């Protein structure tokens, strides 16, 4: 056994010891220093210490695979793989998303139109299940297939073997404008099918919607060289360049983290996009995890709510819409919700066997629509009404909703969307005593 393997075994043994020490009937949860979930809870003491499970154990350039512990952030993983000219097949947008979190939840990025979701590039998964057992499972195992979208309610990922793909040093970007959502959706479908645009190959696709008459598809391609590269880690702001430039070049690392510096566009809520403030804030604080901690503090103390007279409802969601219904959804969204910008990211499943807790049709190209803001409520509206409106529209259009943020489904409706029979079977087998929370309780009731 390698040194890394021995260290991992000791970390797993220590975690099992912690788990065994939790009194029977007491809830079990992880003690994590960071989170990218937006289901906020009151601070709780204790939790399983998983700090020792945050390493890249090995990278094999020959087989293009990596052995990675579950609490490893993508920032650390990408730094390890780029040294070998490789990257994970899908790198979610934010640096502190963990590999285990992206697999138990749902990650996505601009390579998802060809590489699917992060869990689809996992070859082997080591899990500590709710009954305290350690299980190593592969693609033919029911736990492996049921783990995505379980959000830590069946168990915790301890180690994963994942596929990698080769990279080139640079990425060339083209920002293609569209004045009409129907034209944008039609172009998106064609580009993803052909993996090319105007005769040039396309390796990455995402989009930014600023209004019903202004949307852009960003088509990116690996490149061996670049005439010059842009830097959006300091004073310049990436999403503004989408409107201002038709072409651009970034290093591959800067491309993978292009959205993190300003948390897409959400940093504007903290004033750090103002030119004067921008020059004063050290670069190390221009990161998504810093902004998220500020939001968590504000949720606890209600500071921003005291500054405005209107009741604000957070509308923080990612939803998958079939590409042929995308224009309908955007029309609804502009009319009823009215926040901008909005992110678009196409995704098609790689694995035709499917994933039972998040059922998507492998023959359909979906478009992830991401929106992260607040909406002022009218006096007659209850908190949650806009999110509920979005949930209903997503259902009507044959889409799906990620569960990292607030959800308002009724219990039966929730299980209809997320395959209640399959989940209950997995829960009874791997967490028979209910040591871990139920998926509905965790994602909707926030227990």
- Express each pLDDT in 145-197 by its tens digit: 999 999 999 999 999 999 999 999 999 999 999 999 999 999 999 999 999 99
Q: What is the band of 447 on the pLDDT scale with cuts at 50, 70, 90?
A: low
Give the single-character DSSP code of 377.
Answer: P
Question: What integer pLDDT is reported at residue 100 of this predicted model?
Answer: 95
- Smallest Cα–Cα separation from 439: which of 146, 153, 194? 153
SS3 for 440?
A: helix
Q: Which of 41-55, 195-209, 388-402 has the lowest mean pLDDT?
A: 41-55
Give the single-character DSSP code of 164.
Answer: E
Q: What is the band of 207 on the pLDDT scale with cuts at 50, 70, 90?
A: very high
Give yes or no for residue 30 having a pLDDT over 90: no
Ordered structural domains, the chain, with CATH: 3-167 (3.30.465.10)
Higher pLDDT, 386 or 378: 386
Q: How confident is the model over 224-237, as a mean pLDDT?
A: 96
Question: What integer pLDDT is reported at residue 202 of this predicted model?
Answer: 98
Gyration radius of the chain's alpha carbons: 21
Q: How confident is the model over 120-149, as a mean pLDDT?
A: 96
Residue 22 region by backbone torsions, left for phi larger than 0, else alpha for psi between -120 and 50, else beta: beta
Question: What integer pLDDT is reported at residue 311 of this predicted model?
Answer: 80
Contacts of 69 (CB under 8 A, 6+ apart): 8, 11, 53, 54, 55, 56, 57, 99, 100, 158, 159, 160
Q: How confident is the model over 291-304, as a mean pLDDT?
A: 72
Strand partners, 86: 166
- C-alpha dihedral sign at 279, 282, 287, 289: negative
Give yes or no for residue 39 having a pLDDT over 80: no
Q: Work out the percent of the chain whose per-residue pLDDT is above 70.
A: 93
SS3 for 162?
A: strand
- For 47-82, the pLDDT digits (tens) are 788 889 999 999 999 999 999 999 999 999 999 999
Question: What integer pLDDT is reported at residue 343 of this predicted model?
Answer: 98
Instruction: Give yes or no for a contact between 97 and 112, defined as CB atoms under 8 angstroms apart.
Output: no
> What value does the mean pLDDT of the chain take?
92
Give yes or no for residue 302 having a pLDDT over 70: no
Q: What is the pTM of this model?
A: 0.93
- For 360-385, the pLDDT digits (tens) are 999 999 999 999 999 999 888 899 99
């Amino acid at each position: 056994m390698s040194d890394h393997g021995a260290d991992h075994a000791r970390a797993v043994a220590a975690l099992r010891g912690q788990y065994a020490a939790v009194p029977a009937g007491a809830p079990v949860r992880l003690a994590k220093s960071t989170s990218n979930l937006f289901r906020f809870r009151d601070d709780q003491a204790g939790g399983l210490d998983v700090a020792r499970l945050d390493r890249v154990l090995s990278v094999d350039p020959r087989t293009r695979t990596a052995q990675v512990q579950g609490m490893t952030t993508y920032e650390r993983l990408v730094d390890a793989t780029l040294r070998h000219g490789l990257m994970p097949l899908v790198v979610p947008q934010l640096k502190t998303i963990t590999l285990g979190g992206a697999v138990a939840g749902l990650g996505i990025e601009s390579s998802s139109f060809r590489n699917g979701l992060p869990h689809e590039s996992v070859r082997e998964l080591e899990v500590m299940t709710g009954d305290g057992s350690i299980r190593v499972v592969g693609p033919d195992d029911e736990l492996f297939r049921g783990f995505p979208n379980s959000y830590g309610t069946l168990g915790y990922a301890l180690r994963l073997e994942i596929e990698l793909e080769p990279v080139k040093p640079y990425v060339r970007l083209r920002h293609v404008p569209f004045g009409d959502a129907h034209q944008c959706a039609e172009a998106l479908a064609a580009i993803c099918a052909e993996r090319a645009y105007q005769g040039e190959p396309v390796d990455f696709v995402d989009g930014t919607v600023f209004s019903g008459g202004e949307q852009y598809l960003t088509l990116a391609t690996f490149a061996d060289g670049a005439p010059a590269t842009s830097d959006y880690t300091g004073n310049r702001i990436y999403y503004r360049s989408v409107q201002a430039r038709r072409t651009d070049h970034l290093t591959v690392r800067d491309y993978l983290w292009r959205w993190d510096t300003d948390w897409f566009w959400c940093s504007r809520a903290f004033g750090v996009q103002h030119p004067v403030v921008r020059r004063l804030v050290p670069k190390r604080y221009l990161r998504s995890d810093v902004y998220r901690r500020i939001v968590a503090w504000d949720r606890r103390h209600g500071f921003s709510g005291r500054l405005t007279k209107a009741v604000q409802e957070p509308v923080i969601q990612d939803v998958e819409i079939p590409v042929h219904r995308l224009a309908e959804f955007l029309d609804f969204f502009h009319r009823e919700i009215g926040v901008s910008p909005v992110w678009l990211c196409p995704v098609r499943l790689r694995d035709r066997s499917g994933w039972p807790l998040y059922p998507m049709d492998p023959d359909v190209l979906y478009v992830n629509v991401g929106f992260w803001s607040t909406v002022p409520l009218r006096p007659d509206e209850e908190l949650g009404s806009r999110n509920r409106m979005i949930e209903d529209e997503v259902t009507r259009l044959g889409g799906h909703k990620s569960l990292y943020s607030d959800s308002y489904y009724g219990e039966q409706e929730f299980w209809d969307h997320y395959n209640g029979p399959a989940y209950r079977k997995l829960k009874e087998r791997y967490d028979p005593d209910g040591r871990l929370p139920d998926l509905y309780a965790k994602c909707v009731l926030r227990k």
